[in-house]
Amino acid sequence: MAVAVGIDLGTTNSVIAATEDGKPTVIPNAEGARTTPSVVAFTPQGDRLVGQLARRQAILNPKGTIYSAKRFIGRRYDEVTSELNAVSFDVVPGPDDAVRFKIQGRLYAPEEISALVLRKLVDDARRSSGDRDRQRAARDAAYHFMSAMAGDLPNFEEASRALFADDRRQFAALIAAWPDDIRDHIVRLAFSPDPVDPANVNR
């Protein structure tokens, strides 16, 4: 099923969210953070960085790091006099006196910089959606395997609820008494490649 994803492109930070089970949920970016700095950097080595990585190197690369690009979108150069002293990068007039950022001899429109931030957000949303799909498929596979022998597995119902709630510690504790071969196979199905070892759950 397709998931509707919302993106808030902010001047300082941006965020992505999706509706899950009727509730809005913020989607972490590739770095695991809930917000992404609206920053793009072009390094002297020719690399292009977006988000947290770009912000981290801003002090060492002030002329090549663009932030607050959203403030300049759709504006003419003579309209941004007050903003010029608030940024460290070069802001110059472009075609028809439109605002442009000059980086390493090339001119960039504010819209281009914001588009790079948006692209990262979209890529992160797609990655996260794919991760969630794979997690759901893994849980389903483990549940079907468990169901085939439910009558012989104590705490089956409680373990099933913990499985789909992704409560790994509770799940591992509930299945600790199951036969080793069955338990280990279910854990590999549900949580690979980062399984929880039930034998270590209370350590």
What was the pLDDT predicted at 39?
96
- Tell me which of 15-29, 68-82, 106-120 is least confident: 15-29
Please indicate, yes or no, whether residues 124 and 28 belong to a single structural domain of this protein: yes
For residues 128 and 154, state if they share a domain: no
Three-state helix/strand/coil letters over the chain: CCCCEEEECCCCEEEEEEEECCEEEECCCCCCCCCEECEEEECCCCCEEECHHHHHCCCCCHHHEEECHHHHCCCEHHHCHHHHCCCCCEEEECHHHEEEEEECCEEECHHHHHHHHHHHHHHHHHHHHHHHHHHHHHHHHHHHHHHCCHHHCCCHHHHHHHHHCCCHHHHHHHCCCCCHHHHHHHHHHHHCCCCCCHHHCCC
Q: Answer whether residue 18 shows pLDDT above 70.
A: yes
Q: Which residue has the higher pLDDT, 104 or 190?
A: 104
Average pLDDT over residues 60-66: 96
Q: Which of 132, 161, 185 is the last residue of a domain?
A: 132
- Is the pLDDT at 136 greater than 70? The verdict is no
Residue 119 shares a structural domain with residue 162: no
Last residue of a domain, one of 82, 102, 132: 132
In a domain, 142, yes or no: no
Range(s) of the domain holding residue 75: 1-132
Q: What is the pLDDT of residue 155?
A: 74
Residue 140 inside a domain? The answer is no
Residue 202's pLDDT is what? 40
Which band of pLDDT confidence, cut at 50, 70 and 90, is reported for residue 59?
very high
What is the count of structural domains for the chain? 2
Mean of the pLDDT values across residues 174-193? 73
* Predicted pLDDT at 72: 94
Task: Say what the pLDDT of residue 107 is.
Answer: 95
